Amino acid sequence: MKRLCAAVGVLAVGCSPGLASASTALILGGAGRYADLTDEELANALGGYFAEYDHRVNVPFAGTDDFGESIDAAADSMYDAVYSTPGKKTIGGVSQTAPAIAEVLRRLENDADAPPPSELDAAMYGAPSPFFFRLSGVDYQPLPETPYNLLIVRAEYDGVADFPDNPFNLLAVVNAYMGYNQLHYQAAFTDISQVPEEYITKTENAKGGTTTTVLIPTKVLPVLKPFADAGMSDQTVAYLDKILRPLIDSAYDRPEGGAAEAEVSQSDRRSVAVAAEAVTDVDAVDDDSDQDDSNQDGAATDGAVTDDAATDDGGGGGKADAGKADESAPRAGKHAKPDDDTPGERESRQTTKKSAGNDVQRGKHARDDRDDKRAASDTDGKAAASDTAA
């Protein structure tokens, strides 16, 4: 039977003597289309975790729309499969059937003829969080203490399996909701042997069973992924990610030494202020550009403007420019370097602001193109109307 044997740096997780003969992976599928998993999906799951098993079996079950009833039905099917399958085996559940694996382990605890731990272990991917149980009206039961080794895998910020412990952190909740759509299925094929050490925890219970929990890290926050896909620069996305991630992670109660920190440091708070300044600067650039566009459009439309009127307009523009110059003075004070800023931090902030400004300029050019096309269309329409009147 294959167990999790992943070398992560200097850490070896859940290593066993190797793959024995006649090993079988008994896997329950998830909901809907994923209830029946193909052999290819089973072989590629978790980066090929079950690829070397002699047999991979998608255990069928009579699932329903009721979450609690589906757990019971899946547990019945898996319990029967355990006793009807000879040799060494791993039992596994995906998403809504993961709790059925925990139920099977509870039942085996009461069986005098249950398979020994040397013949059986278990794996769960994307197991619903306690919040999901409450939402579904089903009583949540903690994992049982069992002599069997258990592998638990979930994706960071997956709204089903990794819902925030603090549901009042709305940013974290929105991020988790978006994470469900982006990660819940896709992350199931991540190679867990490549997950960094700090995302892996191991605990051993009083009965000798070891539970290994693997949190698949998410590189870009789900709440920022749509912006990245829409073309926002990598540098801007990374900068926003650095600001938002500590705020989101503060909603999670991670194990000590885990990937997420529960507190937002003083430097993170300063980063939020710096981000606000950057957004202000970007808005100022956009406003100035829009003002210039407005002045140019006015000059082009009014062909009968006299020299005196043009002079007056120029004076007005000078007053506006003077006002902007006055406004720039206190803004310069905002950008004074904090006492604890390093040259690297200042350079990173300036580079990020420049990148954000470039994003705005690209948007401005796109608007200019649309305005030119609209003006050309209006001119053609007026010409056609004049010809018709003539």
Q: Residue 164's pLDDT band (boundaries 50, 70, 90)?
A: very high
Name the pTM for this structure: 0.65
| Residue 349 within any structural domain of the chain | no
Mean pLDDT, rounded, of the chain? 74
CB 217 within 8 A of CB 71: no
What pLDDT digit, counting tens, does each position of 197-207 carry? 999 999 999 99
**Residue 12 clears pLDDT 80, i.e. is over it:** no
Q: What is the pLDDT of residue 84?
A: 95
| Residue 353 within any structural domain of the chain | no
- CA distances to 11, 14, 192, 242 from 5, rounded to whole Å, are 10, 5, 10, 32
Give the closest residue to 285 by CA, choosing from 232, 372, 362.
362
**Residue 212 clears pLDDT 60, i.e. is over it:** yes
Q: What is the pLDDT of residue 357?
A: 53
Q: What is the pLDDT of residue 378?
A: 56
Q: What is the pLDDT of residue 81?
A: 96
Q: Residue 318's pLDDT band (boundaries 50, 70, 90)?
A: very low
CB 222 within 8 A of CB 182: yes
What is the pLDDT averaged over residues 169-193? 95
Angle CA(115)–CA(18)–CA(56) in degrees, nearest 5? 65
- Lowest mean pLDDT segment, chosen from 105-109, 117-121, 193-197, 278-282: 278-282
**Residue 219 clears pLDDT 90, i.e. is over it:** yes
| Residue 178 within any structural domain of the chain | yes
Q: What is the pLDDT of residue 356?
A: 52
Q: What is the pLDDT of residue 328?
A: 39
Give the closest residue to 72 by CA, choosing from 102, 116, 29.
102
Give the closest residue to 206 by CA, choosing from 109, 83, 130.
109
CB 104 within 8 A of CB 91: yes
- Lowest mean pLDDT segment, chosen from 17-31, 161-175, 307-321, 336-350: 307-321
Q: What is the pLDDT of residue 260?
A: 45
Task: Show the DSSP H helices in the chain as ranges.
Answer: 39-44, 67-84, 98-109, 130-136, 170-183, 225-229, 234-249, 266-301, 307-334, 343-389
Structural domain total, the chain:
1
Q: What is the pLDDT of residue 194?
A: 95
* Rounded Cα gap, residues 301 and 317, in angstroms: 17
Q: Given phi > 0 = left and psi -120 to 50 = alpha, else beta, which region is 22?
A: left
Phi/psi at 87 (5° precision)? 80, -170
Beta bridge partners of 94: 125
Q: What is the pLDDT of residue 370?
A: 56
What percentage of residues in the chain have a pLDDT greater than 90? 49
Give the closest residue to 52 by CA, choosing from 22, 72, 83, 28.
22
| Residue 226 within any structural domain of the chain | no
**Residue 133 clears pLDDT 70, i.e. is over it:** yes
CB 122 within 8 A of CB 97: no
| Residue 64 within any structural domain of the chain | yes
CB 219 within 8 A of CB 240: no
| Residue 155 within any structural domain of the chain | yes
Tokens coding 9: 């740096």
Q: What is the pLDDT of residue 135?
A: 81
CB 88 within 8 A of CB 116: no
Output the domain CATH number for residue 103.
3.40.50
| Residue 170 within any structural domain of the chain | yes
Domain containing 72: what range? 24-218
What pLDDT digit, counting tens, does each position of 338-389 carry? 445 555 555 555 555 555 555 545 555 555 665 565 555 555 555 444 454 4
Tokens coding 42: 């089973």
Beta bridge partners of 57: 26
What pLDDT digit, counting tens, does each position of 35-61 carry? 888 999 999 999 999 999 999 999 988
| Residue 372 within any structural domain of the chain | no
**Residue 22 clears pLDDT 80, i.e. is over it:** no
Q: Residue 291's pLDDT band (boundaries 50, 70, 90)?
A: low
Q: What is the pLDDT of residue 331?
A: 38
Q: What is the pLDDT of residue 326?
A: 42
* Rounded Cα gap, residues 221 and 240, in angstroms: 9
**Residue 258 clears pLDDT 70, i.e. is over it:** no
| 3-state secondary structure at position 117 | coil
